[in-house]
Amino acid sequence: MGTVREIETPQGVARAHVQRPPRGSTTVRGSLLLGHGAGGGIEANDLRLLTSLTVDGWAVVRVEQPWRVAGKRVATASPTLDDAWVAVVEALSTGRWKLASPLVSGGRSAGARVACRTAETVGAYAVLALSFPLHPPGKPEKSRAHEASLVTAAGRALAVVQGRKDPFGTPDEIRTALGPEPAVYEAAGNHGFSRDPSDVLEHARTWLATL
């Protein structure tokens, strides 16, 4: 279960689907906020599976961008995604909805890009990037490595979980582009991972335990 909070942002209403550690849990590790991709929502298999990290003491929040809440099929421009994300994090940082620290910001594909670009602004302790779209398929010259590098340049930890056959950038391409600082994990499948992304969960759990 969990709770859903509608949050006003400069781009319209966003939804935060909040799942906290089990009642009575003695260990509270922090909060993991996850954004979705440009072609899908929070129901993606990997994002749903990561909600099980609540048993490890993490509050897990899956955030629906305003364009998705409004029923649009195409994501809006990057600056609007960033503005909405910042507003959501700010709303979840105060009052009765305040989430536990530290904050790990993350998401899959476009959501991973948003988390990287805004990490310093929202004060994220670390970033978990799932299926980071390093470049458009077949166009390695159009690299987005600079967005991921914003995280490590700001002194924050970065983990990338990448499908072995991801046309937006393989794990080896990620390592070459980003250097030795990020933790890069290989998962089965392509940009959407496999039908059973249990390895994504295990990689996330392993990395979060190091923070």
Tens of each residue's pLDDT in the chain, 211 residues: 689 999 999 999 999 999 999 876 667 899 999 999 998 899 999 999 999 999 999 999 999 999 999 999 889 999 999 999 999 999 999 887 788 899 999 999 999 999 999 999 999 999 999 999 999 999 999 999 999 999 999 999 999 999 999 999 999 999 999 999 999 999 999 999 999 999 999 999 999 999 9
Q: Domains in the chain: how many in total?
A: 1
- Amino acid 194 reads S
Range of the domain at 91: 3-208
Whether the pTM exceeds 0.85: the reply is: yes
pLDDT for 97: 79
Round to whole Å and give the CA distance between 149 and 158.
Answer: 9
What are φ and ψ of residue 139, in 5° steps?
-130, 65
Q: How many CB atoms lie within 10 A of CB 75?
A: 19
Domain holding 112: CATH number? 3.40.50.1820
Alpha helices in the chain (DSSP H): 45-50, 66-69, 78-91, 110-122, 145-153, 171-178, 198-208
Two tokens, residue 2: 């969990």
Task: Tell the burial category of 133 from Cβ atoms under 10 Å away from its Cβ (0-12, 13-18, 19+).
Answer: buried
- Amino acid 129 reads A
The size of the chain, in residues, is 211
- Amino acid 85 reads W
Round to whole Å and give the CA distance between 208 and 205.
Answer: 5
